[in-house]
Amino acid sequence: MQKVEIDILRVAGEMGIAVEAGPDGRIVGVELRPCPPVRGFETLVKGRGFAFAVPAVMRICGVCHAVQGAAMCEAIEGALGIRPPREGLLLREACVLANRLQSHFFQHFLVIPDLTTGRAMEELQRDALNGLDKASALLQIFGGTGTHPMHLAVGGMARRLSPEALKKAEEVLAEIQALVDSFAGRFEASLEGSPTARELAGIPFPAPYLATDPFYGNPSRINPDLIGIQEPSGNALPVLYAGHPVEAGPRARLAKFFGFDDVSLLGVQLARLRELPLTVGRLREILQEIDPDAPVRLAEIPLRAGEGVGVVEAPRGTLVHLVELDEDGNILDLKIFTPTQFNLAVLREGLLGAPAEVAEVAVRVYDPCIPCVVH
C-alpha cells in the first residue's frame, strides 16, 4: 500500500486530498480535505432581517455570488408567500446564467493545462479569461456589479433593465456567442490528441444525477427532507440525496434534460464545455422576452412568519437554501446545501478503484468550490 497526499491546485479555494493505492496502483482509500475554516454564514444571519441576508450570503463566495443571492431571495419569498413580477424573475435568471458563464470560463482556464499543452493551451486560456471578462460585463448590466450583484432583492430586482442597457447586453452577448462558438470547438478538438483526456475518457465515473432544471432551478423537483449529511471531509460536510451520493452540475443537467450519456471522467468536463452555448442561447431568449417598461419588483413586501425553500442551479449544480422567518421577517434559521457538498460524496466513493495518478485532475474536473463548501 502507498499513501500520497496532494495539495489540489487550480481549484476555487484551498483543498488537499490523500489517496491510498494498492499494489496495482488503484485507489483503495480517499480523504478529501477542504482546508479553510468553517465561516458560519448560516449563523451570521440569524436574528437579522431578510434584507441583510441576501447580500450577506453572496459573500460566501467570489465565484458563486449571484446564485447564492438568488437562492436566498427565492427561499425568503417562499416563506413570505410572495412571487416577484415576471420581468423581475427573468432578470434574476439572467444574473444566474451570467454567473454560470463566469464560473465555467474560470474553470476551463484552470483545467486547460491538464488537458492540452503548447500554443493551444495558451490560446485557450487567453480565450477563457476573455470569456470571463465579458461574462462579468454582462452580469454588471443585469445586476449592477460584476460580482455580488447589488440589484438582487427580495420581491424581484432593485432596478429595471433600461432600453439602452438591454441593447448593450445584446451586444455583449453577441461577443460571448462568437467567442463560445470558437472556444468550445477548439477546446474539444484539442482533447483528441491529449493523453490525459484519453485516460479520463476510459475511466467510468457513474452516479445518480441531481438536477432540477436546465437553467434556473425548480424546487418541485427536489425534496429537501431527503438530503442527509455524511461524515465530515476536512471542514466540509458531504451530503447524500435519498441515502446515496448524487452528482450535481453540468453533466447532471445535460443528462436529465438533453440526453447527454458520457459517464466517463472526461464527460464531466465535456458537459461543462457544451453547457456554454446552451447558456448563451437561453440568455438570448431572456433578452427577447424582457419588457423594459414592466415592473421588476413588488411594490410592497408583506411580513409574516414562515418557512421557504430556494433552489437554484448554480454553475456546479443544485444549490438549496432552507429558511425560517419570524413574523417581522427576521431569520430564525438557515440551512444551505451547496453543489460541492453533493459532489464531494461522489468523489469520495467514485475515486475508489481509479488509477491513483488521476486523482488530482479528477477532483479538478468536478470543479469543487471550497469557499461554498465551508460556508
Residue 301 sits in a domain whose CATH number is 1.10.645.10
Q: How far is 375 from 361, CA to CA, in rounded Å?
A: 24
Does pLDDT of 218 surpass 90?
yes
pLDDT category of residue 111 using cuts at 50, 70 and 90: very high
Tell me, what's the pLDDT at 2? 87
pLDDT category of residue 326 using cuts at 50, 70 and 90: very high
**DSSP collapsed to 3 states, 159-205:** CCCCHHHHHHHHHHHHHHHHHHHHHHHHHHHHHHHCHHHHHHHCCEC
Tell me, what's the pLDDT at 231? 87
Please state which of the ranges 54-58, 82-86, 220-224, 232-236 shows the lowest mean pLDDT. 232-236
Q: How far is 102 from 100, CA to CA, in rounded Å?
A: 5
C-beta neighbour count of 148 within 10 angstroms: 18
Does pLDDT of 365 surpass 90?
yes
pLDDT category of residue 363 using cuts at 50, 70 and 90: very high
Tell me, what's the pLDDT at 186? 95
Pairing of strands 209-210, 247-248: parallel
Tell me, what's the pLDDT at 1? 77
Tell me, what's the pLDDT at 143? 98
Tell me, what's the pLDDT at 234? 85
Tell me, what's the pLDDT at 233? 87
- Enter the pTM of the model: 0.97
pLDDT of 264-280, one tens digit each? 999 999 999 999 999 99
pLDDT of 144-170, one tens digit each? 999 999 999 999 999 999 999 999 999
Q: How far is 281 from 265, CA to CA, in rounded Å?
A: 26
Tell me the average pLDDT across 185-196. Answer: 94
Instruction: Judge whether 254 and 275 are in contact, CB under 8 Å.
Output: yes
pLDDT of 177-190, one tens digit each? 999 999 999 999 99
Does pLDDT of 374 surpass 90?
yes
The total of structural domains in the chain comes to: 1
Q: Which domain holds residue 350?
A: 2-373
Q: If you average pLDDT over every residue of the chain, what do you get?
A: 96
